[in-house]
Amino acid sequence: MNEILYLDHHATTPVDPRVFEAMRPALTGEYGNPSSAGHAFGRAAQKQVADARARVARLIGADPQEVIFTSGATESNNVALLGAAGHYAQPGSHILTEATEHKSVLSAVRHLEGKGLCAQILPVDPQGLLDPAAVRAAVTDRTLLISVLFANNEIGTIQPIKEIGRIAKEHGVLFHVDAAQAAGKVPIDVNGLGIDLLSFSAHKMYGPKGIGALYVRRKGPRVALEPLFHGGAQESGLRPGTLNVPAIAGFGKACEIALAEMEDETRRVRALRDRLEARIREGLTEVYVNGHPVERLANNLNMSFPYVDGGSLLAGLWQTMAVSSGSACSSDIPEASYVLKALGLGPERSGTSVRFGLGRFNTAGEIDAAADRVISVVTELRAASPLFQAWKSGRLAG
Ligand SMILES: *Cc1c(COP(=O)(O)O)cnc(C)c1O
For the segment 296-308, what is each residue's pLDDT rounded down to a tens digit?
999 999 999 999 9
Nearest CA to ligand 1 atom 10: 73
Ligand 1 centroid to Cα of residue 379, in Å, is 34
Residue 99, pLDDT > 70, answer yes
> Are 367 and 9 within 8 A, CB to CB?
no
Say what the pTM is. Answer: 0.96
Nearest CA to ligand 1 atom 9: 74
Least confident stretch, 136-140, 366-370, 385-389: 385-389
Residue 326, pLDDT > 90, answer no
Task: Count CB atoms within 10 A of the CB of residue 299.
Answer: 25
> How is residue 222 annotated by DSSP?
P
Percent of the chain exceeding pLDDT 70 equals 96
- Residue 158's φ and ψ, nearest 5 degrees, are -100, 125
> Are 135 and 166 within 8 A, CB to CB?
no
Pairing state of beta strands 321-322 and 94-98?
unpaired
At residue 325, the pLDDT reads 84
Q: Which of 40, 224, 329, 390 is catalytic?
A: 329
pLDDT in tens, 33-53: 999 989 999 999 999 999 999
Of 329, 353, 322, 331, nearest in space to 340 by CA: 353
At residue 330, the pLDDT reads 46
Q: Helix crossing, 17-27 with 40-60: angle to 10°?
A: 150
Residue 72, pLDDT > 90, answer yes
At residue 333, the pLDDT reads 52
At residue 327, the pLDDT reads 55
Of 332, 364, 339, 334, nearest in space to 351 by CA: 334
Residue 331, pLDDT > 50, answer no
Residues with CB under 6 A from ligand 1: 72-74, 102, 104, 149, 153, 178, 180-181, 201, 203-204, 212
Residue with the larger pLDDT of the pair 2 and 175: 175
Residue with the larger pLDDT of the pair 397 and 149: 149
Ligand 1 centroid to Cα of residue 180, in Å, is 5
Domain coordinates of the chain in residue numbers? 5-10+262-388, 17-257
- Our answer to whether residue 118 is catalytic in this structure is no
Residue 398, pLDDT > 70, answer no
Ligand 1 centroid to Cα of residue 290, in Å, is 20
Work out the burial of residue 397: count CB atoms within 10 Å of its CB; fewer than 13 is exposed, 13-18 middle, 19 or more buried. Answer: exposed
Rounded to the nearest 10°, the torsion over CA 72, 292, 360, 189 is -60
Average pLDDT, the chain: 95
Element (H, E) at 310: helix 310-318
Residue 392, pLDDT > 90, answer no
Pocket test for ligand 1, best of 9, 102, 149 (most atoms within 8 A of CB): 102
Ligand 1 atom closest to 12 (CA):
1
Least confident stretch, 118-122, 144-148, 391-395: 391-395
Cα radius of gyration (the chain): 22
Nearest CA to ligand 1 atom 14: 180
CATH number of 5-10+262-388: 3.90.1150.10
CATH class of domain segment(s) 17-257? alpha beta
Element (H, E) at 305: none
Work out the burial of residue 390: count CB atoms within 10 Å of its CB; fewer than 13 is exposed, 13-18 middle, 19 or more buried. Answer: exposed
Q: How confident is the model at residue 2 (pLDDT cuts 50, 70, 90)?
A: low
Q: How far apart are CA 90 and CA 16, in angstroms?
A: 45
> SS3 of 288, please?
strand
Q: Note whether 5-10+262-388 and 17-257 share their fold.
A: no
